[in-house]
A and B are shown apart, each in its own frame.
Chain A
Amino acid sequence: MNLERVSNEEKLQLCRKYYLGGFLALPFLWLVNVVWFFRAAFLAPPFGEQPRIKSYVLRSALGAALWGLGLGVWVGLFQSRRGQWGALGDALSFTQPMGEP
Chain B
Amino acid sequence: MSEESEESVPLLPLQQESMASALFNTDQNDNSERRRHDNSERRRNDNAESETNGQPQNNIQQVVEQDEEEDEELTLKYGAKHVIMLFVPVTLCMVVVVATIKSVSFYTRKDGQLIYTPFTEDTETVGQRALNSILNAAIMISVIIVMTILLVVLYKYRCYKVIHGWLIISSLLLLFFFSFIYLGEVFKTYNVAMDYITVALMIWNFGVVGMICIHWKGPLRLQQAYLIMISALMALVFIKYLPEWTAWLILAVISVYDLIAVLCPKGPLRMLVETAQERNETLFPALIYSSTMIWLVNMAEEDPEAQRKSKNSAFDKQAPASRTQNEDAEADDGGFSQEWQQQRDNRIGPIESTPESRAAVQALPSNSQTSEDPEERGVKLGLGDFIFYSVLVGKASATASGDWNTTLACFVAILISSLISPYVFVFCFFSYPQGLCLTLLLLAIFKKALPALPISITFGLVFYFATDNLVQPFMDQLAFHQFYI
Contacts and interface: CB of A to CB of B under 8 A. Distances in A.
A5 B204 contact: no
Contacts of B312: 1-2, 5-6
B198 A78 contact: yes
Given A24-B208, A71-B201, A95 B194 contact: yes
Given A71-B198, A93-B195, A98-B191, A2 B220 contact: yes
17 contacts: A1-B295, A2-B376, A5-B293, A6-B312, A21-B208, A26-B205, A26-B209, A29-B205, A29-B208, A35-B219, A71-B198, A74-B197, A82-B193, A82-B195, A94-B184, A95-B188, A95-B193
Given A26-B208, A27-B205, A79-B193, 13 more contacts: A1-B218, A1-B219, A1-B294, A1-B296, A7-B311, A25-B204, A32-B209, A32-B219, A94-B194, A95-B188, A95-B194, A97-B193, A98-B191
A25 B201 contact: yes
A6 B217 CA distance: 12
A58 interface: no
Interface in A1-60: 1-2, 5-7, 14, 21, 24-29, 32, 35-36
A29 B212 contact: yes
B193 A96 contact: yes
Nearest to A24: B208
Given A1-B218, A29-B205, A94 B196 contact: yes
Contacts of A75: 198
A21 B216 CA distance: 13
A28 B294 CA distance: 23
A94 B195 CA distance: 5
A-B pairs with lowest CB-CB distance, top 4: A28-B205, A2-B293, A5-B311, A97-B191
Interface of A: 1-2, 5-7, 14, 21, 24-29, 32, 35-36, 71, 74-75, 78-79, 82, 92-99
A74 B198 contact: yes
A96 B193 CA distance: 5
A14 B376 CA distance: 22
Nearest to B294: A1
Contacts of A94: 184, 187, 194-196, 199
B192 interface: yes
B320 to A, nearest CB: 18
A32 B199 CA distance: 19
Interface residues of B, number: 32
Contacts of B313: 5
A95 B198 contact: no
Nearest to A29: B209
Contacts of A79: 193
B212 A21 contact: yes
B106 interface: no
Contacts of B196: 92-94
B478 interface: no
Contacts of B206: 28
A93 B194 contact: yes
Nearest to B188: A95
B169 interface: no
A90 B32 CA distance: 69
Contacts of A96: 193
A1 B194 contact: no
Contacts of A71: 198, 201
A15 to B, nearest CB: 11
A28 B311 contact: no
B197 A92 contact: yes
Given A5-B313, A95-B184, A32 B195 contact: no
A78 B199 CA distance: 12
A6 B199 contact: no
A92 B195 contact: yes
A21 B218 CA distance: 13
A58 B456 CA distance: 48
A75 B198 CA distance: 7
Interface in B222-277: 222
A78 B201 CA distance: 15
A77 to B, nearest CB: 10
Contacts of A26: 204-205, 208-209
Contacts of A7: 311
Contacts of B293: 1-2, 5
